[in-house]
Each structure stands twice: as C-alpha cells, then as structure tokens.
C-alpha cells in the first residue's frame, strides 16, 4: 500500500532508525509498502524513515538504468568496506525539487539481510554504490543536503 513520504524539514528525518530484531510478516509488509511508495513516486530508492517508520529497512530498484540489477530490499544494512571517492548529482524524494553534487565512496561492501531474513553481502560501485549510501544515510538521520559539496544545490 502506498504511503505518504515524509519531507524536509520534518524532524523525524534526522532521527536514527532502530535495528530490526527479526524479519517477519510485518517487515515483509513494510517492504511491499515501501516498493509501492517508491514506484508511485518514481524513485530508485527508499528508506523506512521516509515513510515515517523508524526501522533500518531500505528498498532499491535501479533496473531502469542498470537492467542486470534486480530490485531488492535490505534489512539492517551496514557498510563494512569502502574505498575511493567520486562526486555525483543526487536528489531525494524527501527533499523534492532540490538536487546537488555529493561526494560518496566509489566502492562499498554492504551487509544486511534480505526480506527472507537471510544474510547478504553486496559489492557495489557506480549508481548502486551511491543509492546504497544515500539510503543507509537516511537510516542514520542524514539527508543528502547535509553532504552537499560546497554550494552546489539547485532548485528544480
């Protein structure tokens, strides 16, 4: 079911999300709602805090850009390895109409659980790396506008 997206400057977006204790039916329902909301909003990533849920859950679908990467959800994702740096343009469903250049790690290794509760490890670069970092930032109460490179924000 599509949910309302929480938008800046709502203070909840600056709150650190809590770890998920177990991947159960409620978490799978949350994942479905997050996918529904992300697709309805034409996004490529969404975190649970963006729909007002303080849990460490993210969903991504970059398949329109990188066909070989199928949509997926991660529960309790954590960056466990990183290297290099690269700047790129970002926007956010919670900060509508704003884009800016953000410096991110070029390569990341992320561990978490899938929606079945099985452990997964993802090695990522390019767009996948950027989206993973952006969504994990949301779980830590960080918005992309907190990371803008100098004064590069622009209104759309």
How many C-beta atoms lie closer than 10 Å to residue 108's C-beta?
22
Q: Tokens for 5?
A: 């997206």
Q: Tokens for 77?
A: 């994702």
- For every one of its 156 residues, what pLDDT tens digit does the chain have, with 9 covering 90 and above? 999 999 999 999 999 999 999 999 999 999 999 999 999 999 999 999 999 999 999 999 999 999 999 999 999 999 999 999 999 999 999 999 999 999 999 999 999 999 999 999 999 999 999 999 999 999 999 999 999 976 555 555
Residue among 10, 68, 123, 135 flagged as catalytic = 135
Q: Over the range 84-101, which residues count as b (16 or more CB within 10 Å of their CB) and which as e?
A: eeeeeebbbbbbeebbbb
115 a catalytic residue: no
In words, the CATH class of domain 11-155 is alpha beta
What is the model's pLDDT at position 149? 74
Three-class HEC string of the chain: CCCCCCCCCCHHHHCCCECCCCCCHHHHHHHHHHHHHHHHCCCCEEEHHHHCCCECEEEECCCCCCCCCCCEEEEEEEEEEEEEEEEEEEECCCCCCEEEEEEEEEEEEEEEECCCCCEEEEEEEHHHHHHHHHHHHHHCCCCHHHHECCCCCEEC
Domain-wise residue ranges, the chain: 11-155
Between CA 90 and CA 98 the distance in angstroms is 9
pTM of the model: 0.95
């Amino acid at each position: 079911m599509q949910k309302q997206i929480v938008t800046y400057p709502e203070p909840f977006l600056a709150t650190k999300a809590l770890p998920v204790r177990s991947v159960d039916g409620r978490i799978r329902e949350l994942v479905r709602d997050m996918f529904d909301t992300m697709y309805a909003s034409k996004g490529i990533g969404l975190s649970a805090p963006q729909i007002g849920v303080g849990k460490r859950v993210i969903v991504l679908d970059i398949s329109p850009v990188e066909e070989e990467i199928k949509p997926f959800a991660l529960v309790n994702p954590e960056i466990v390895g990183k290297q290099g740096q690269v700047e790129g343009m970002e926007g956010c469903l919670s900060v509508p109409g704003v884009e800016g250049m953000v410096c991110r790690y070029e390569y990341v290794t992320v561990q978490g659980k899938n929606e079945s509760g099985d452990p997964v490890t993802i090695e990522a670069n390019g767009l996948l790396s950027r989206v993973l970092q952006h969504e994990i930032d949301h779980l830590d109460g960080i918005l992309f506008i907190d990371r803008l490179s100098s004064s590069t924000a622009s209104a759309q």
